[in-house]
A = this chain, B = another copy of it.
Amino acid sequence: MTRDNDIPPEVQKDIMKATFRAITRYGYADLTMEKIAEESNKCKSTIHYHYGTKENLMVDFIKYLQKGFKRNIVPDTGDPLERLNGVIDRMLFGTKNGKIPERFHTALLELRSQAPYNEKYRRQITENDELIHGKVKGIIEDGIEKGVFEKEDPGTIATIILSAVDGARARQISTERKAVEKARNSLDDIIDEMLLKGR
């Protein structure tokens, strides 16, 4: 049972921010409603009343990340090349509000690895994924329309960019290699050779 539709916006925002802090601190597996309550100004029973289960709360949290992506990751202004470079930089290195803690990315990877066993997570992650893909694709389409980019398939280039970012994130936290910096260099090459063709 999901009750998130009935939650007053301020309460929801407070719980979501507390969830961000708690999952960054403890990871996904060790996350409990009690730990979320400790990070917020709400008591455990309030959080329990609104969400019922950790699963419902996490689905709402994944949805909340989507809003953050729209607000903080996708640049509104600039020419298409600046916007494309901006969205890549923010996905790799952090938002305009500052660096995203590496432990938060670790928790997201943990959450992602639960998705095969959990249909609700999978559905919400798919929705986020499609939104992000659409945004990046939109920037590339805009660039092609304005004659800044070559006529490549925007969906394919968006897939390449998002896969490279995701792969680099997983490498960055699970190995000792400087994966996100290497990914940025690789994506520069892709943009140069596929979208700009040495212009």
State the A residues within 8 Å of B (CB): 27, 29, 102-103, 106, 109-110, 112-113, 115-117, 121-123, 125-126, 129-130, 152-153, 156-157, 159-160, 162-168, 170-171, 173-177, 179, 182-183, 185-186, 189-190, 193-194
Contacts and interface: CB of A to CB of B under 8 A. Distances in A.
Given A163-B167, A164-B163, A167-B162, A115 B174 contact: yes
Contacts of A115: 173-175
A41 to B, nearest CB: 29
B106 A109 contact: no
Interface SS majority for chain A: helix
A27 to B, nearest CB: 8
A157 to B, nearest CB: 8
Contacts of A189: 152-153, 156, 160, 194
24 contacts: A27-B117, A106-B116, A110-B113, A112-B170, A121-B174, A123-B176, A153-B189, A156-B185, A156-B189, A160-B160, A160-B164, A160-B186, A160-B189, A163-B165, A163-B168, A163-B179, A165-B167, A166-B167, A166-B171, A167-B170, A190-B190, A190-B194, A193-B194, A194-B194
